[in-house]
Structure formats: C-alpha cells, structure tokens
Amino acid sequence: MEEYIIERYDLHIIDKEDNTCSCSIEPKVGKAHDNSGRKIYIVKTKANEFLYIGEAYTKITTRMQRACTSFNHFVRHEKAKGGYKGYKWLDKNANTERNLIIYVATFNSESDKMRSRIEAIEGELVYLVRTKQEYWPKFQNEIHFHNIEGTKEIAEKIFMFIQKPVIYDR
C-alpha cells in the first residue's frame, strides 16, 4: 500500500494584458513543493466544480510554470510548444474563475515503476468524478487506464478527502 499525503493549496491565475498568464500557489510550503515523490493534482473551483486531474513527477510549482509557459507560447504564436498548448483552464475566456483550489496527493515513491500505479489512481479518480458528480472534469482531455489492484480504493480515499467542505482562511 502506498503512503501519500494530501494538501490543499490556493491557485491564483494572474492575467496579463496580452492574454497570457502566470500562476501563484499559496502557501509556498508543503510536500507538493518538494521535488521528491510522484503527485496527483486536482484542480477545482471554490464552488466545488472539478476542472482537471493530472499526474506529475516535479514540484507542483514547476508543473504549473511549465503549463503557463506552454499556454503563453500558444497564445503568442498560435502554435503548440512541443505539441502541448498548456491547460485549457488557464484561458480566461474558457474559464473565468481565476482563484482556484488545487489538491495535491504526494506519494512516497519516485520510481518509474510507480508511474503506472499513479496513473491508474489518476484514472480511477477521474472516473469517480464522472460517477459521483455526473460530469467529467470540465477541462479533462485524457485519462490513463491501467488495471492495477488497489488503485480504486486509493482513489476513493482521495476523493472522500477532497470532498470535505473547504474553510477559506487564506
């Protein structure tokens, strides 16, 4: 059984005049800010709408910076950077919510062997949103499918945690 920690952060999208943006994550401390451990991140609105669920192997700030860099490149050049356009939810026309919540589950394993397990948990989590909320995350564009024992149970625990009411103290 994998060990993991789930943390909640505030994710702020800062728009610029040329339709590009940057992201800021608060607080600036926590396990998600470490380079160690594979991560699953869940982006939601404060109204509890799921926007996106993803997997990363870097710090969450690095993941968001890379997404903004790709999005900004696409906005400026109308061409994907390395085939990637950044997240659709960064676009202020597609997503007017600029203050979001991001939950990050950091797993205590960096092994590439672990990647399939983490992707399986990510896929199960996306499917749980579809099943329980009756919609896919609004900007989800892919899901990794792996039939790996125990991943559904971990996804269910993460889902239960991120469904708890949020107290806005930041």
| CATH code of 133's domain | 3.40.1440
Asked if residue 167 belongs to a domain, the reply is no
- Collapsed DSSP state (helix, strand, coil) of residue 23: strand
| Number of separate domains in the chain | 1
- What is d(CA 25, CA 117) in angstroms, rounded to the nearest whole number? 26
Asked if residue 170 belongs to a domain, the reply is no
The parent domain of residue 35 ranges over 4-162
Give the pLDDT confidence score for residue 170 in this predicted structure: 47
Give the pLDDT confidence score for residue 165 in this predicted structure: 59
Smallest Cα–Cα separation from 119: which of 166, 56, 28, 37?
56
Asked if residue 13 belongs to a domain, the reply is yes
Q: What pTM does this model have?
A: 0.92
Asked if residue 169 belongs to a domain, the reply is no
8 Å CB contact between 122 and 55:
yes
Give the pLDDT confidence score for residue 166 in this predicted structure: 60
Mean pLDDT in consecutive groups of 10 residues from the start of the chain, 170 residues: 89 97 97 93 95 96 96 96 93 97 90 84 96 95 90 96 67
